[in-house]
Amino acid sequence: MTHISYFITLDPIHHEIEIAQLNLLGVESFLEHDHALEAFIESESSGNLAKEIEEYLKEKALPFKKIIHNARAWNTEWESNFKPIGIDHKLFVRADFHVPDPQYAQELVISPKMAFGTGHHETTSMILEWMLGENFEGKRVLDFGCGTGILGILAAKNGAAVIHFIDNDILAVENTIENIAMNQLPQMLVALGSFDAIPEQGYDFILANITRNILAEGIGTLSAHLNAKGKLIMSGFLISDLEFMLDRIIQSGLFHTMMMQRGEWICLIAESQ
């Protein structure tokens, strides 16, 4: 499968806001360079998305170069830019070609493919850090918009009894299955789809690190799948979206219990009655 990237000349201080804006358009994979931001989409499903990205970049007067990549070249570039990271001095996230670090009590091994979620982005790292302080023993968990599966895999490694993964991107589904095996976990439900793919079951935790628009559209559906006192963990939106998302939480019958912020990005925790 081939991919398209937009190599955007951009000062690093503007990376965060442009990642957020392109993410709203539907871009989920990025590489940050010293003086540029590279945004990736699948060529087979680009269609209107490519047109919208190009119109947006031209409107913002951001210089860019459009590049066609095959899957092998993309993965090689991604791997060369993927560095291991530590979360809260407790969790080490690495690829299989990195050396383990014994100073961390836990580790996750993530194959750095096209799917979103290596722990580097602020939204993912906030949720991982929050999860390290939660008790998942015997709990039911849904990783919605799972990307690499990193969030659900951490829940599994911390004792969750049931973990379901859902993503609307076949590459993410394949990558999650690969990462589950790489972390020596048993087979789990990994489904291709969106809200209609959620099993008719209740969850104690729903992890949703996705875009603001998808969250706003589906928060009611996600809340309906929570058990009593279940928690919905949401990220993927900016501080400027805070009031809007808090309103959506109230409208969905949930109540807001916690907020985290890293840079311009926000993570909200909401709980069912």
Q: Answer whether residue 127 is part of any domain.
A: yes
Q: Would you say how long the chain is, in residues?
A: 273
Which 3-state string (H, E, C) describes the chain? CEEEEEEEECCHHHHHHHHHHHHHHCCCEEEEECCEEEEEEECCCCHHHHHHHHHHHHHCCCCEEEEEEEHHHHHHHHHHHCCCEEECCCEEEECCCCCCCCCCCEEEECCCCCCCCCCCCHHHHHHHHHHCCCCCCCCEEEEECCCCCHHHHHHHHCCCCEEEEEECCHHHHHHHHHHHHHCCCCCCEEEECCHHHCCCCCEEEEEEECCHHHHHHHHHHHHHCEEEEEEEEEEEEEHHHHHHHHHHHHHCCCEEEEEEEECCEEEEEEECC
Q: Answer whether residue 86 is part of any domain.
A: no
Structural domain span for residue 248: 116-271
Residues 6+ apart with CB under 8 A from 15: 32, 37
Q: Say if residue 197 is in the same domain as residue 265.
A: yes
139 backbone dihedrals φ, ψ, rounded to 5° = -90, 160
Q: 44: domain CATH number?
A: 3.30.70.600
Q: Say if residue 140 is in the same domain as residue 266.
A: yes
Distance CA 136, CA 156 (A): 8
Q: Answer whether residue 44 is part of any domain.
A: yes
pLDDT band at 197 (very low <50, low <70, confident <90, very high): very high
pLDDT band at 153 (very low <50, low <70, confident <90, very high): very high
Q: Say if residue 52 is in the same domain as residue 131.
A: no
How many Cβ atoms from other residues are within 10 Å of residue 201's Cβ?
Answer: 11
153 neighbors 188 (Cβ within 8 angstroms): no
Least confident stretch, 39-48, 84-93, 101-110:
39-48
Residues 6+ apart with CB under 8 A from 196: none
Structure pTM?
0.81
The pLDDT of residue 146 is above 90:
yes
Quick one: pLDDT at residue 254? 96
Q: Answer whether residue 104 is part of any domain.
A: no
Q: Say if residue 149 is in the same domain as residue 65.
A: no
Distance CA 206, CA 222 (A): 7
Quick one: pLDDT at residue 237? 87
pLDDT tens per residue, range 220-240? 999 999 999 999 999 988 898
Q: How many domains does the chain have?
A: 2
Q: 248: domain CATH number?
A: 3.40.50.150
136 neighbors 161 (Cβ within 8 angstroms): no
Q: Answer whether residue 165 is part of any domain.
A: yes
Quick one: pLDDT at residue 80? 65
User: What letter represents residue 241's amino acid?
Assistant: D
